[in-house]
Chain A
Amino acid sequence: MSDIFSLTFLVGLLSATLRVATPLVYGAMGEIISERGGVLNLGIEGTMFLGAFTGFAAAAALSNAGVAGYLWLGLAAAILAGMIMGALMGLFAVTLGVNQHVSGLGITLLCTGLALFGFRLIFGESDVLPKVTPFAQIAPLGATSPAGVVLEQYLLTYIAFLVVVPVSWWLIYRTRFGLNLRAVGENPEAADASGVSVARTRYASLVLGGALMAVGGAFLSLAQLGAFTPGIVAGRGWVCIALVIFARWHPVRGMWGALLFGGVFALQLRLQTLGLELPYELFLALPYLVTILALALAGRNVAYPGAYLKPYHRE
């Protein structure tokens, strides 16, 4: 058991924590921005899945064609797919005023079907998993010191923590878009009377949110795996839904939530290798148990956005 406290163990744990947390940060920021406008986007799980697929499929095609920046172009394709799904959520939840639970779950089903169908269509049924050479990690501090090893990460991880989180905060609290967004999510009548377009603001937040969710999915296929598998997202979208409530719709708290989940996930991976006499499913369940626990503790009496789940139409 003393292994747990060794430096190597700790370094490995922290490094893995950041890696596991990365897609959650993208997903949670996307969901926070969507929900701040009053729309619960349960399409997140599917949007991440579609993002993972679109990113991979585009990158694979471009890579075969010998295009140099195939990974970034694949990422761009994923973003586009995410934006389309965000707009579709807008069509259902904003324009048509359909129940948000139903439309969100519908989008997840649609994305899942599209991605699996597309995968079969493009790659057929082969025994060999198609692969692309994924993003390489960067190590700004070198890969020898413990800190250097921890910080040897993908560029997308750096972007998640150093750009997406602070920019999300800035966007929500320090820009016109963010002010309109919060007003629209809280009191759409007041926003409307003040000349803020409720529909346009909500569409913008859903499209932006969808793009971020798709990047979260594409991170899995283009960075972590270099491949696409049917179980690639594995409920991360749902975890993000919980994280957003845990975070009380605040980007920085959302980041801490993602790190907490990432940390427990990384820990259970390592606990599995210690050879304890426990079924491994128990370890696998651990991060989800912690999520539920954290939600139960921190998610009580939270103030949901005032117009949460409510479509807005002028009388």
Chain B
Amino acid sequence: METRSYPYAIEMRGIVKRFGPTLAGDHVDLAVRKGDVHALLGENGAGKSTLMRILYGLYHADSGEILVDGRPAVIRSPKDAIAHGIGMVTQHFALASPLTVTENIILGRTPNFRIDMDAAHAQVQAAAGRYGLEINPRAVIGDLAVGQRQRVEILKALYREARVLILDEPTAVLTPQETHQLFTELRRLQQQGLSVIFISHKLHEVMAITNRITVLRHGRVAGNVETRGTDERALAQMMVGRVTRPAVKPPAVEEGDPMLRIADLHAADAKGVPALQGVNLTVRAGEIVGLAGVSGNGQSELAHILSGTGEAGRGAVRVGEKEITHADARAVMAAGVGRIPEDRHAGVVGDLSVEQNLVLEHLDDFRRGGMLDHKRIRSHARALIDAYQIKAAPGDRIRTLSGGNMQKVILARVLERAPAVIIVAQPTRGLDIGATEYVRRKLVEQRSRGAAILLISEDLDEIMELSDRIAVIYEGRIMGELTGAEATTERLGLLMSGVAHAALGAEA
């Protein structure tokens, strides 16, 4: 009875973890009450993931102890963690995508050599029902949306009798709707007695879903508070150790010339399904136009075409007076377009150094005779590293950089050319507060310089903070445009779900 009433599901005491010279965990204490959703909040690199990887047995602490249910636990591998009732869902899902939901869930828990698939499906279905997680056990993982895959991961952990669930940045890959559904599911699981450790750096989510918050900064506990007794401002201060500054947008510059004009653009996706069905959009010099929408409504295809890496069908794209509808990447760049791609790993070559990545798109400018001028490439890199506060040396392989620094390299490469048009997709996805602020400030700077910026983002807060005008894309069509002043989450949400602009006319 005594253990049953023990208040803490997990206690980590004095955890120290060193990676070479850096202290990723400096005597960290964490106590998670039973039935709580407990946030582990902090910037990227604050030591959240390290701490959780220790709890899940993926790393070993140099010192410190872990108590599960008040009893000391030795956790050397995920297998040990699972045996102690700890489950973890990471951003990179541990699922085999050609396998079915059932197969992924029963993996490693098959009592007999022969598997009765029908019985297994039924078992998984029953478990899903018990936990209120709606999923088709027969579905192949590869066919599922990201939110559904995450649900499978959660179910997989629960199927392994997890009583503590670690969710590592679970909303980073989700749409607003999926996030909403996840929160509903988590609340239900919480009522069933599950404890959740929720790793995040998104303040409003932490405020919305958790009971208690532990803030980490530079590997140390910077704060430990009840969610009810705090607010976003206080949390942000704990996280970064100073007062945060939103990207202050100067008043709109007077109306500039239309720089990017998209007229009746059509395109098909990789499977040949129409992805763009007559997109019309204009971006003027000195303005940021936000393109909002649930992912998969044609944003990627549009970004690819505007970058010269996609296949356009009917319609036209003009930069100034130059048509670039079917141009390749080199021609698009030459026309004055700078591109900051959605997947920053696709925007750099991981095995090349920072300096090489910085000149990758303009090698011709760094030639001496037929050879590359390494001296100039290095001094060029030094100047940009300085100007863009990139925490890296020119010779570092870009693969070793943090997401924020990698994004700064891409920004530096694009912005130093002062492009007339900037296509930027999900610029702050996965970045910490500091880096996010930096990227947004840079975009606003570019706007002041007179660049025409198309900001494609699934982060509505970002869109609303930065945009002069907001267009909403739904199933490959622009559903409507709102000025920054008109836009509210509700109105954008309606447009994003495909409710036509006309329906909003009455209240507008």
Q: Interface on A for B, CB 8 Å cutoff?
A: 174-177, 179-180, 182-183, 186-187, 189-196, 303, 306, 315
Q: Which 6 A-B pairs have the closest CB atoms?
A: A194-B108, A186-B96, A190-B94, A193-B78, A195-B108, A176-B110
Q: Choose among A174, A179, A303 the residue that contacts B107 (Cβ–Cβ < 8 A).
A: A179
Excluding A186-B96, A187-B95, 13 further A-B contacts by CB distance (< 8 Å) are A174-B117, A175-B114, A176-B113, A179-B99, A180-B107, A183-B104, A186-B97, A187-B96, A193-B79, A194-B109, A195-B82, A306-B98, A315-B58
Query: Inside 8 A of A174's CB, which chain B residues have their CB?
Result: 114-115, 117
Q: Does B135 contact A (CB under 8 A)?
A: no
Q: Which residues of B contact A187 (CB under 8 A)?
A: 94-97
- B112 contacts the other chain (CB 8 A): yes
Shortest Cβ gap from A35 to chain B (Å):
13
A176 touching B98, Cβ below 8 Å: no
| B106 contacts A by Cβ under 8 Å | yes
Contacts of A306 in B (CB 8 A): 96-98
8 contacts across the A-B interface (CB closer than 8 A): A176-B113, A176-B115, A179-B106, A180-B107, A182-B103, A194-B109, A195-B108, A306-B98
- Which residues of A lie under 8 Å from residue B82 when comparing CB positions? 193, 195
Chain A min CB distance to B80 (Å): 10
Please tell me if the beta carbons of B94 and A193 are within 8 angstroms of each other in the complex: yes
Which among A189, A193, A315 has the highest number of chain B CB atoms within 10 Å? A193
Interface of B is mostly: loop
Q: Least Cβ distance of A285 to chain B in Å?
A: 35
CA distance A193 to B88 in the complex (A): 10
Minimum CB distance partner of A195 in chain B: B108
**A176-B110, A315-B58 known; A303-B98 Cβ under 8 A:** yes
Chain A binding site: helix, strand, loop or mixed by DSSP?
helix
CA distance A182 to B107 in the complex (A): 10
Distance between A73 CB and nearest chain B CB, rounded to angstroms: 29
CA distance A178 to B107 in the complex (A): 10
Instruction: Report yes or no: A194 in contact with B99, Cβ–Cβ below 8 A.
Output: no
A195–B112 Cα distance when bound, in Å, is 15
* A195 CB, min distance to chain B CBs, angstroms: 4
With a cutoff of 8 Å between Cβ atoms, the chain A residues found around residue B94 in the complex are 187, 189-190, 193
Closest to A187 in B: B96
> Using Cβ atoms and an 8 Å threshold, which residues of chain A touch B78?
192-193
A180 CB contacts on chain B under 8 angstroms: 107-108
Q: How far is the CA of A191 from the CA of B78 in the complex (A)?
A: 11
Assembled-state Cα–Cα distance A183/B110 (Å): 13
Interface mask (B285-309 → A, CB under 8 Å = 1, otherwise 0): 0000000000000000000000000
Say how far A301's CB is from chain B's closest CB, in angstroms: 10
**Complex Cα gap A179–B79 (Å):** 18
Residues of A near B98 (CB, < 8 A) are: 182, 186, 303, 306
Question: What chain B residues lie within 8 Å of A182 (beta carbons)?
Answer: 96, 98-99, 103
Chain B residues closer than 8 Å to A194, beta-carbon distance: 107-109
A175→B58 contact, CB < 8 A: no
* Nearest CB on B from A88, distance (A): 26
Question: Distance in Å from the Cβ of A205 to the closest Cβ of chain B?
Answer: 15
Do B96 and A196 have beta carbons less than 8 Å apart?
no
Output the nearest chain A residue to B103 by Cβ-Cβ distance: A179
Give the CA-CA distance A194 to B83 in the complex, in Å: 11
**Is B113 touching A183 in the complex (CB atoms < 8 A)?**
no
Most chain B CB neighbours (cut-off 10 Å) among A174, A177, A189, A194? A194
Nearest to B92 among chain A residues (CB) is A189
Contacts of B58 in A (CB 8 A): 315
Report whether A191 and B108 are in contact in the complex, using a CB–CB cutoff of 8 Å: yes
Please, which residues of chain A bring their CB within 8 A of the CB of B114?
A: 174-176
Within the assembled complex, what's the spacing in Å between the Cα atoms of A192 and B103? Answer: 15
Does A175 lie within 8 Å of B113, measured CB to CB? yes
Residues in B94-131 with C-beta less than 8 Å from chain A: 94-99, 103-104, 106-110, 112-115, 117
Most chain-A Cβ atoms within 10 A of its Cβ — which of B79, B98, B104, B109? B98
Contact B115 A195 (CB under 8 A): no
Q: How far is the CA of A212 from the CA of B337 in the complex (A)?
A: 58
CB-CB < 8 A to B113: which residues of A?
175-177
CB distance from B125 to the nearest CB of A (A): 18
